[in-house]
Amino acid sequence: MSGFTLPLRADLVGVRSYGAPQLRGPILLNVNENPFPLPNDVARAMADAVGGLAAGLHRYPERDAVDLRADLARYLERESEVVVDPSRVWAANGSNEVMHHLFLAFGGPGRTAITFDPTYSMYPEYARDTFTRFISFPRRDDFSVDVNQAIAAIEDVRPSMVVLASPNNPTGTALPLDDLSAIAEACMHTGAMTIVDEAYAEFRRAGVPSALALLDHQPNLVVTRTMSKAFGLAGARVGYAVAADPAVVQACQVVRLPYHLSAVTQAVARVALAHAPALQAQVALIRDERDRLAQWLAGEGFDVAASDANFIMFGRFADRHQTWQRLLDEGVLIRETGPQGWLRVSIGTPEENDRFRAALLAATAA
Ligand SMILES: *Cc1c(COP(=O)(O)O)cnc(C)c1O
């Protein structure tokens, strides 16, 4: 390649692509997937649905995923007892793409998005891609958000977007509804969107509400969800958002790429939603396993961040990379993420969690 310098954007030179290591072989407790494969009858129904539409793939898909969005609205009504009109629901290839649409529509040059660290490592990347200035403020030591500090930051920085993950990744922390409401209210005064990323909502502990409950009171609120975690559908790439204002959905329709959601994806997602109880049958078990593992970790003397998600952040290690590597040597892949000294483990099947416990004891034996 004869001395040609790619005219890459200056801010992308030397930047590596995001992603956890994808390895075959070890027990995979690293990217918060649902560890249970889809039940046979659901997998067969998906295959039938895709078979039925395959001959029609010479046509572009239904552009606005109208039927899927109606199914999602019905699902939310059952899951969180909120009534949402499909005109307020948006769907895309994973909630990552939904969030990208939101940054395209509400971020941009000269605008600022803020969040509270430690949190999901993709937020700065959406900001970079959309030329949005990005500022992180620290969370408290218990990984909650100091609401007064947040409100002061919002009034000071005047962002166009405030992004809050709840339950948060990688810490597992759910934010109280009152805190979210106070932050959304401050955003109302300064003209900012409040975006609550609820990728892990279905794993929240009893009594922990969803931000969906605030939608009727906060016209600037958007709640994003995904089928990648509790639904066990990470491979299909389906995420969605519910907005207080249908104009948010219309804005996403402006910035999305044409026919962004394939006919195959829409059909598979609709089958999954029709079988939601079967697909989520293990969610209660995963929650129980999480609480049991958190107790065990604490009993073994580790620091454990309280979790409302399907993973646990624990520590602290003088050399966390060494512990991560030793766990991998023991056949268990977890995630080296979060603040220095901490590691994150996804909740697996009961057998996988046993293997993790044994591996961790071996990895940390003196
Ligand atoms: C896993 C995760 C998502 C989901 O991403 P998809 O694109 O829907 O697979 C979104 N937000 C957070 C914080 C996550 O951890």
The domains of the chain are located at 20-39+277-363, 48-274
The residue type of 168 is N
Report whether residue 96 contacts ligand 1, using a CB cutoff of 6 Å: yes
Supply the pLDDT for residue 80: 84
Chain centroid, CA 328 distance in Å: 24
Report whether residue 93 contacts ligand 1, using a CB cutoff of 6 Å: no
Architecture of domain 20-39+277-363: Alpha-Beta Complex (3.90)
Show Cβ contacts of residue 23 under 8 Å, excluding neighbours closer than 6 positions: 328, 333
Ligand 1 atom closest to the Cα of residue 31 is 1
For ligand 1, atom 11: residue with the closest CA: 199
Nearest Cα residue to 212 out of 202, 222, 227: 222
Scanning the structure block, which residue is given the tokens 């034996």? Answer: 365
Report whether residue 199 contacts ligand 1, using a CB cutoff of 6 Å: yes
Supply the pLDDT for residue 3: 87
Ligand 1 atom closest to the Cα of residue 229 is 1
Report whether residue 95 contacts ligand 1, using a CB cutoff of 6 Å: yes
Q: Identify whether the C-beta of residue 172 lies closer than 8 Å to the C-beta of residue 308.
A: yes
Scanning the structure block, which residue is given the tokens 């499909």? Answer: 86
Ligand 1 atom closest to the Cα of residue 309 is 15
pLDDT digit of tens for each residue in the chain (366 aa)? 678 999 999 999 999 988 878 888 899 999 999 999 999 999 999 999 999 999 999 999 999 999 999 999 999 998 888 899 999 999 999 999 999 999 999 999 999 999 999 999 999 999 999 999 999 999 999 999 999 999 999 999 999 999 999 999 999 999 999 999 999 999 999 999 999 999 999 999 988 889 999 999 999 999 999 999 999 999 999 999 999 999 999 999 999 999 999 999 999 999 999 999 999 889 999 999 999 999 999 999 999 999 999 999 999 999 999 999 999 999 999 999 999 999 999 999 999 999 999 999 999 996
Class of domain 48-274: alpha beta
Distance from residue 56's CA to the centre of ligand 1 (Å) = 31
The residue type of 358 is A
User: Structure tokens of 29?
Assistant: 């407790």
> Alpha-carbon distance 173 to 167, whole Å?
5
Report whether residue 202 contacts ligand 1, using a CB cutoff of 6 Å: no
Report whether residue 236 contacts ligand 1, using a CB cutoff of 6 Å: no
| pTM for the predicted model, two decimal places | 0.96
> Alpha-carbon distance 116 to 87, whole Å?
30
Supply the pLDDT for residue 1: 60
Give Rg (Cα) of the chain.
Answer: 21
Supply the pLDDT for residue 25: 81
